[in-house]
């Protein structure tokens, strides 16, 4: 199955995924800690390449990040694998034991322009 997915993705340009997470008041530090201590490592396990993570200067309850995927089809597969990962489920449950740390998730799929440094 992995070979088939790789064959489908071969020759396609990478796709970038912009994600914006909004947290309840006072929960941004907990979300950042979860990413730093767990999420990025689990992303890597599922071939989800982190490009960067940002906190806007004017929004104190927001985390923005970009992932790079070989294709949108593989991105969807990697997300499904990530969400079903027992380690992720354990981390999510533990970090939300005292309440949700994410109120809203926004996702944008992006293709690089021909003059972009990112391809």
Per residue in 93-102, pLDDT (tens digit) is: 999 999 999 9
Predicted local distance difference test score (pLDDT) of residue 4: 43
Predicted local distance difference test score (pLDDT) of residue 3: 42
Spell out the domains of the chain, with CATH numbers in brackets. Answer: 11-110 (3.30.70.100)
Q: 106 forms bridges with which residues in the sheet?
A: 20
pTM above 0.85, yes or no: yes
User: Which residues, 6 or more positions from 77, have their beta carbon under 8 angstroms from its beta carbon?
Assistant: 5
pLDDT above 90 as % of the chain: 83
- pLDDT (tens digit per residue) in 2-15: 444 443 444 467 99
Which pair of structure tokens corresponds to residue 63? 């985390």
Q: What are phi and psi of 57, to 5 degrees?
A: -70, -25
Query: What are the C-alpha distances in Å from 53 to residues 47, 58, 62, 76?
Result: 17, 15, 11, 20
């Amino acid at each position: 199955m992995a070979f088939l997915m790789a064959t489908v993705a071969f020759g396609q340009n990478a796709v970038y995924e912009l994600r914006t997470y909004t947290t309840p008041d006072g929960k941004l530090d907990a979300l950042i800690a979860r990413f730093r201590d767990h999420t990025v490592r689990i992303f890597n396990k599922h071939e989800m390449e982190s490009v960067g993570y940002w906190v806007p200067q004017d929004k104190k309850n927001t985390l923005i990040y970009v992932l790079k995927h070989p294709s949108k089809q593989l991105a969807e597969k990697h997300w499904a694998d990530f969400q079903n990962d027992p380690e992720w489920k354990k981390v999510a449950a533990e970090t939300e034991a005292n309440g949700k740390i994410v109120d809203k998730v926004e996702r944008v799929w992006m293709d690089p322009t021909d003059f972009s440094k990112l391809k």
